[in-house]
Amino acid sequence: MSKNLFDFGMIGLGVMGRNLLLNMADHGFSVVGFDKDKAKNSALEASATPGTTVKGVSELSQMIQLLQRPRKVMMLVPAGQPVDDVIASLLPLLEKGDVIIDGGNSHYTDTLRRVKYLRDKEIHFMGIGVSGGEQGARTGPSIMPGGDQSAYENVRPMLEAIAAKVGDTPCVAYLGKEGAGHYVKMVHNGIEYAIMQLISESYAILKYAGLSNQQLHEVFKSWNEGKLQSFLVEITADIFLQKDDKTDAHLVDVISDKAGSKGTGKWTSQDSMELPVAVPVIDTAVAMRTVSGYKDERVKASELYSSNATFSGDIDELIQQVHDALYFATILSYAQGLAMLFQASKDLNMDIPLPEVVSVWRGGCIIRSSLLEVFTSAYRQSPELSNILLNQEVASLVKSVEDNTRSLIAFAAKSGTPAAALMASLAYFDAYRSERMPTNLIQAQRDYFGAHTYQRTDIPGTFHTEWGQQ
């Protein structure tokens, strides 16, 4: 009888849910999807590859009845209350040992709560991060599972089959306990925010220097063929060629400069402060999206603080400086995100394996890049590396572009071109490599006005001074 039942169920048949199910079906798994919208059920079945086993239903109880035991059900619904509502609808229909998977962008604290709640009911719960967008879901995403490891073993063959591959290695691995999967995906998205901001600042500097969209395309295309090779650089090159279907302009030039966000970058910043771990490039990327929303104020400010500065330097030299600064800052973005995962793994008791994280990110996901091969090597040498900047090979790469990074940031400051994330990356680097920071003065100030005490460099212990009484 079990041969007539389905291997996997999906709740929510938007583009991501539909494409993941079709991907599973293409790899030999029988799948059933549920959506109240009957048109989405029909679209799922119509999109299936001939010969695969795909069914859409509009009754949740029907889907559950069609699944093999232990049942494996994934939700792809908006984060927050909708996830809890689906869980509440599922519980009367499930049995002990069944597996519920949240494949959306839930905050890890919600995942922690749900793991505990369902564990008490003997239902397995997993939070899984999925990256790669619509196309990745259909052809091979990066998958970041966490939570119940025994439940992971139930779905591992299927996830390994549908994940992106680097060589013969699937871009999926068990990434830790409790809410680890969603935590890793949150940090992935924070790094994504940072790199997108860095690319946009690089674009702004090159546009200020007078490069046309065709020239920008050629520059980014050549960069993607070298050590800046990455998905985000690749699609940026493509964007500059896209013509608007309503005018004769390039589409990028008619898109509003008010950037949207869905909250995961903000979560990364907020949670980094709770640990605490410094992620200033990610923080800055989140802040710049906020500033982009001040459009009316920015227009007025541009009139008050207008600049007549123009570019008159060597364009090829500037392009190389932008390249090197983007490479430098991209490394720093990854370094900050990975340092956050290192600390969270310990402090939140999630046991996140960093070698597996960077390996999973090598293919399928939005932040995939050639740099991840370097990081994979670094973590294989030192799995407990607290910050990749402490790896010798990474240090050599950073130092090779440091001078041009400083020159580029000085140019951006002098020309008035906004480059906050590039600047934040250099500021973090300079602070991180400083044996002694000026924060001794801050400790003195805190003790002066608030008796917060301080420690000394020469004598152990905690001290307070009655300042101003000489």
Predicted confidence at residue 310, as pLDDT, reads: 86
CATH topology of domain 186-432: N-(1-d-carboxylethyl)-l-norvaline Dehydrogenase; domain 2 (1.10.1040)
Confidence of residue 3 (pLDDT cuts 50, 70, 90): low
Binding residues for substrate: 105, 131-133, 188-189, 193, 262, 289, 446, 452
Q: Cα separation of 15 and 36, whole Å? A: 15
**Nearest alpha carbon to residue 402 among 325, 317, 314:** 325
Q: What angle do CA 322, 186, 101 make, to 5 degrees?
A: 140
Tens digit of each residue's pLDDT (9 = 90 or more) over 240-291: 999 999 998 999 999 999 987 777 889 999 999 999 999 999 999 999 999 9
Q: What angle do CA 177, 193, 232 make, to 5 degrees?
A: 105
Task: Tokens for 303, please give them.
Answer: 């009139």
Determine how many CB atoms are found less than 10 A away from the CB of residue 52. 16
3-state helix, strand, coil in the chain (%, to 5): 55, 10, 35
Contact 143, 169 (CB under 8 A): no
Supply φ then ψ for residue 151, to 5 degrees: -65, -40
Which residues, in sequence order, are bridge partners of residue 369? 230
**Cα-Cα-Cα-Cα dihedral of 408, 388, 159, 69, to 10°?**
-130
Predicted confidence at residue 66, as pLDDT, reads: 95
Contact 102, 143 (CB under 8 A): no
**Cα-Cα-Cα-Cα dihedral of 290, 295, 297, 299, to 10°?**
140
Tell me the average pLDDT across 125-150: 93
Q: Cα separation of 100 and 90, whole Å? A: 9
Q: Cα separation of 50 and 157, whole Å? A: 22
Question: In the predicted model, is pLDDT for residue 239 greater than 90?
Answer: yes
Tens digit of each residue's pLDDT (9 = 90 or more) over 229-238: 999 999 999 9
Q: Which of 13-22, 305-314, 415-424 has the lowest mean pLDDT?
A: 305-314
| Catalytic residue list | 185, 192
Sign of CA dihedral 281, 285, 286, 291: positive
Q: Per-domain residue ranges for the chain?
A: 8-174, 186-432
Binding residues: 105, 131-133, 188-189, 193, 262, 289, 446, 452
Predicted confidence at residue 335, as pLDDT, reads: 98
Q: Cα separation of 72 and 4, whole Å? A: 16
Instruction: For domain 8-174, give the CATH number.
Output: 3.40.50.720
Q: Is the pTM of this model over 0.85?
A: yes
Tell me the average pLDDT across 30-44: 93
Predicted confidence at residue 263, as pLDDT, reads: 77
Confidence of residue 329 (pLDDT cuts 50, 70, 90): very high
Q: Is omega for the bond preceding 276 within 30 degrees of 0, making it cis?
A: yes
Q: Cα separation of 288 and 285, whole Å? A: 5
**Half-sphere exposure of residue 75, counting CA atoms within 13 Å on the CB side?**
26
**Nearest alpha carbon to residue 230 among 258, 256, 194:** 194
Tens digit of each residue's pLDDT (9 = 90 or more) over 258-272: 987 777 889 999 999
Residues present in the chain in total: 470
399 Rama class: left (phi>0) / alpha (psi -120 to 50) / beta: alpha
Q: Is omega for the bond preceding 70 within 30 degrees of 0, making it cis?
A: yes
Predicted confidence at residue 262, as pLDDT, reads: 75
Q: Cα separation of 269 and 58, whole Å? A: 39
Sign of CA dihedral 355, 359, 362, 364: negative
Tens digit of each residue's pLDDT (9 = 90 or more) over 15-26: 999 999 999 999
**Cα-Cα-Cα-Cα dihedral of 139, 143, 149, 151, to 10°?**
-40
Percent above pLDDT 70 for the chain: 99
Tell me the average pLDDT across 328-353: 97
Predicted confidence at residue 265, as pLDDT, reads: 86
**Cα-Cα-Cα-Cα dihedral of 18, 20, 25, 26, to 10°?**
110
Q: Cα separation of 331 and 324, whole Å? A: 11
**Nearest alpha carbon to residue 7 among 29, 37, 23, 36:** 29
Pair type for strands 31-34 and 169-170: unpaired
Which residues, in sequence order, are bridge partners of residue 67? 6
Q: Cα separation of 292 and 307, whole Å? A: 19
**Nearest alpha carbon to residue 108 among 285, 288, 345, 276:** 345
Q: Could you check whether 8-174 and 186-432 share the same CATH topology?
A: no
Alpha-carbon distance values, 330 to 36, 336, 424, 458 (Å): 43, 10, 11, 38
Predicted confidence at residue 88, as pLDDT, reads: 96
Contact 181, 129 (CB under 8 A): yes
Tens digit of each residue's pLDDT (9 = 90 or more) over 437-460: 999 999 999 999 999 999 999 999
3 state SS of 240: coil
**Half-sphere exposure of residue 408, counting CA atoms within 13 Å on the CB side?**
37
